[in-house]
Structure 1
């Protein structure tokens, strides 16, 4: 439901877990795989009295460490988890999810689903107001989803609207003859109806994106640039409003005293930019109240501080290397498989995570009900890697490097600064692939710059990021053909007809066991054809100051969840 990423992560697909059933019905609210709470370890602060004076003196301000947001503060455009967290403070969607991954009402007090599974009717709560005092109505919801259907919309949310009735007619209409999307119907000020061309199991999760006020963002069809012009001046109905943004430094929010769920208990929130080199110091000095902590040795330092609670749980995410499959040298599957066999992923994961991670071989997390281990594990095998490269026509020259048609096998690897993960991966990858005869040239840059090059401009040969995944395992929001556009999630350009058809089947199957079998077939294709070079899974470790109460992170929720109820207490 959010495009999240964490210290090593990059983007997510908006989706969530839908019920396993033969027919959809009203307010379905069951998770396909209940969260195993025993997997969540909570280490309580041993010595709260050690809380630094700097934190004690900060009575009404919560400071949260973050990787730098890109400044795309619009829920239908936000591309990183950090921008999405900004949006979650400012905007409200029709639905949300609970800690177990069930869809729950939010701006909509309830919803109905027709017997054929194609029509969703939402009943909006009365009295919800945007931060300028104007009431949120069905017209604002219709405007938000119509914007995602616009012919010039170039954000990553197309998968949320592409199956609406009338989407194609509206989206392909460049002459402004089609004035509305047939499948979006305002019934009255507090009731809105969405009709799909076909029933889809995870469709409920398409309705969690933050609602844009029409009176503020309104634009003529085709002139969607207005939304982009307001990225840094967002307005929503959320618990907080944006007060200040300093790129690469911080985002400052003040509470919305008229928030419809109740005035937030904390006046000011600051998202402060940290990195692997500063996070421990910022946390232990009391300068930051909440932040993700990566390596186990960092966790030990946090424990020693004594005043920080630590939440540890399996991450609903995976790390990967993306290759531009439009590039001739990566089009051959044998080359991609050789790169997998030729990288000691297990050695890297064990060395970096020290028992808190495992090798990933397919694009789904072990916390998902769709996970399977009945796939190729690509154990480190340099001999097989060399054989595959030979078969692909990449031959070693006298200088030890591989060549094909006179071209040296060189990979320019774009990655991001301020990451211990990246710093650890670079020498291993260069060494392993260097022994295969491949020259690797790392090019480090700020994360926001990397994201722009990869997703918007698609100007790269190779990059590494990680997906923080949604609750529902539907992979189409990342890998569908429709996402292979500038700004879309399929930045690598993976196009596999069989995989595409299986994704469509998975969307339309409501029986979870049958759906799981479809995704098992899909995962086997992904594991063989390798849209990505998969790296690893890890545990998330989130440090929370003992002065902060009401934050309970888990695989499906983060610190922004029910932020209006989070509070700061005095520690003597």
Structure 2
């Protein structure tokens, strides 16, 4: 009987498409239209996932990454960010900026529906923006923080005005769109979030066992088509270790995780692992208030002494991509003509000699003409095993060059305070970089933590941030990368890789990307 009702509803939906009528209050444990639900035992067509316990089914109020990954199956974003970091049409099918890049005209697809068949319009986008803006905490808070105003022009077009100029503003529109008629009012309120959902993604809400399990069913009215697997069951856990154990025991089918998280865990036979490059950027920083590191020859000598390939294999176990600047080689903005510093101890020694650092009174430590020693301390936080290993490798290399070198491994709070106060010589650090590609915090005079100052770099940063067209952006970021390579305020080490592990039950390719770890799940099938 359930199959018959679902089939009739599916035919009606395919004939009528999106409905313009208002959404009524959803009751019960099933919302909207989905794939036919088979009786228990009839089908194994299920993907099992895990995530943290949700406090709301409204994706805007979420702050947890594992929940965000699951919600990406339920809610589509206004614009997507591709594997190359470029903004891609999604719910918004096209857009155009004014000459300054601070006002954007947005055109939406007219065939996007919520899971009850109601149309998604610009009014829902505006409602979602206001909800983000009023939320105390949200995964997407940075979006509304950079948007000044927005206005709806028609059901499928709107205008957005940003505080700053530049084509990078498009990235602030990468947020999920929720239904204004489900939540009501001028904007959704976290405390009033219902235990149900109207979705617009590949999967629609089916049922929720609070703090235990979320059930999703393949949607028949997603504008991207219908997923091959009809059901997704998500087990909620209170900690990360439980999620890892569920996968290791073969209970869940997909797990986004770093290789280090699975260290020592036995996994089921036939597990597949697919790597992807993250936006976690590891680097070596110099304190420019130390006269030694104000000399570019010294910075370049250190760069030539760092064996990146060896560090990637020994420290990251191969799970990293060599970095030449804060722009990944997988980015659409990457300039392949930017050169790096291949490991070359002889060139490193020559650069030190050119700057007057020689073995004078000692055969192990170089001195300048004034008798000052070439000495430095490397700052790391002791909780981070990778940073400590890298610091030791760098220290060993610098001793070979003739540095008097030591490592200061401190707790994270002390590390953070010393970086902020400039109490270091060399530091090993990392940043999780934004898709917006604004590097002012790293390089801009008076706005960085290493005391670096350069009018030319400030100009390059400004040109990057204010570029609007693709051509302007690639030109501006190309010049920026070349100058970073020459100046070396930082030595770029790696972009870390992470992985998505999949069980042998699944057939087809999951093609994870840094902003969409379950990319490709639509075409995955169950054996």
Scaled by the length of structure 2, the TM-score of the pair is 0.59
CA shift for structure 1 position 189: 5.2
Matches within 5 A, 1:72-111: 84-85=68-69, 88-89=72-73, 91-97=75-81, 104-108=88-92, 110-111=93-94
Look at both structures and tell me which one has the larger radius of gyration over its CA atoms. 2
1:505 to 458, 463, 468: 463
Is 2:488 aligned against 1:522?
Answer: no
Q: Could you tell me whether the CA contact under 8 Å between 2:48 and 2:251 is conserved in 1?
A: no
2-structure distance, mates of 1:255, 1:430: 52
Name the counterpart of 1:371. 335
Work out the number of aligned pairs and report it: 452
**CA separation of 1:127/1:148 partners in 2, compared to 1, >3 Å: closer, same or farther?**
closer
Q: Give the Cα–Cα distance (whole angstroms) in 2 for the partners of residues 422 and 204 of structure 1.
A: 34
Aligned-residue offset at 1:120: 1.6
Question: Whose RCO is larger (CA < 8 A, sep 6+)?
Answer: 1
- Whether 1:255 aligns to 2:255 is no
Separation in structure 1 between the aligned mates of residue 476 and residue 303 of structure 2, nearest angstrom: 25
Distance in 1 separating the partners of 2:53 and 2:285: 24
CA distance in 1, matches of 2:406, 2:471: 45
Q: In the aligned structure 2, how far is the partner of 1:428 from the partner of 1:217?
A: 58
Query: Which of residues 152, 161, 165 is equivalent to 1:186?
Result: 152
CA distance in 1, matches of 2:446, 2:70: 24
**Deviation of residue 93 (structure 1)?**
1.9
With over 3 angstroms needed to count, the CA separation of the structure-2 counterparts of 1:364 and 1:338, relative to structure 1, is same
- Alignment counterpart, residue 96 of structure 2, candidates 109, 113, 123: 113
Q: Distance in 2 between matches of 1:190 and 1:89?
A: 23
> Given the alignment of the two structures, is residue 439 of structure 1 paired with residue 403 of structure 2, yes or no?
no
Shift of the 156–432 alpha-carbon distance from structure 1 to 2, 3 Å rule, reads farther
Matched, 1:207 2:207: no
Q: Which runs of 5+ in 2 are unaligned?
A: 1-42
Higher deviation after alignment, 71-80 or 508-517: 71-80
From 275, 282, 289, the equivalent of 2:253 is 289
**Correspondent of 1:267 among 209, 229, 232:** 232
Deviations 1:266-306, CA, capped at 9 Å, x for gaps: 3322487668xx97x8766425533467679x99x99x975
Question: In structure 2, what is the Cα distance between the partners aligned to 1:114 and 1:413?
Answer: 43
- State the distance in 1 between where 2:340 and 2:290 align: 23
Summarize the alignment of residues 202-351 of structure 1 with structure 2, pairs less than 5 Å apart: 202-211=168-177, 237=199, 239=203, 253-255=214-216, 261=222, 265-270=230-235, 285-291=249-255, 307-311=270-274, 315=277, 317=279, 319-321=281-283, 323=285, 328=289, 332-334=293-295, 340-341=303-304, 343-351=306-314
Instruction: Report matched runs for 1:401-440 at 5 Å.
Output: 410-414=377-381, 421=386, 424-425=389-390, 427-429=392-394, 431-432=396-397, 436-440=403-407
Check the 8 A contact 1:307/1:546 in 2, yes or no.
yes
In structure 2, how many angstroms separate the alpha carbons of the residues matched to 1:465 and 1:566?
35
* Alignment match, 1:32: none
User: Structure 1: which 5+ residue stretches go unaligned?
Assistant: 1-56, 168-180, 485-489
Displacement of 1:521: 1.6
- 1:194 to partner: Cα distance: 1.8
Match of 1:122 in 2: 107
- Quote the residue 1:559 is aligned against: 517
Q: Which SS does the other structure have where 1:561 is aligned?
A: coil
1:543 alignment counterpart: 501
CA RMSD of aligned residues (A): 6.2
SS of 1:425's equivalent in the other structure is helix
Q: Secondary structure at the match of 2:478?
A: helix
Cα 1:321–1:353, aligned 2, differ >3 Å: closer, same or farther? closer
Residue aligning to 2:48: 62
Are the structure 2 counterparts of residues 531 and 424 from structure 1 closer, same or farther at C-alpha, using a change threshold of 3 Å? Answer: same
Answer whether contact 2:127 2:186 (CA < 8 A) is retained.
Answer: no
What displacement does 1:141 show?
2.8
Deviations 1:106-146 (A, max 9, x none): 344x3343685743223365774599x99865445335546
Alignment partners' CA distance in 2, 1:411 and 1:71: 42
1:122 partner SS: strand
In the alignment, the residues of structure 1 paired with residue 454 and residue 399 of structure 2 have an alpha-carbon distance, to the nearest angstrom, of: 30
For 1:502 and 1:510, how far apart are their aligned partners in 2?
Answer: 14
Q: 1:537 to 1:556 in 2, by over 3 A?
A: closer
Residue among 355, 361, 364 paired with 2:324: 361
* Distance across 2 between alignment mates of 1:521 and 1:86: 39
Counterparts in 2 of 1:58 and 1:152: CA distance versus 1, 3 Å: closer
Q: Tell me, yes or no, if the aligned pair for 1:361 and 1:527 is still in contact at 8 Å.
A: yes
User: For 2:331, what is the secondary structure of its paired residue?
Assistant: coil
Measured after TM superposition, the shift of residue 208 of structure 1 is 1.6
Matched residue SS, 1:367: coil
Whether the 8 Å CA contact 2:108–2:121 is kept in 1: the answer is no
Cα distance, 1:438 vs structure 2: 3.5
Contact 1:320/1:465, CA 8 A, preserved across alignment:
yes
Judge conservation of contact 1:200–1:510 (CA < 8 Å) in 2.
Answer: yes
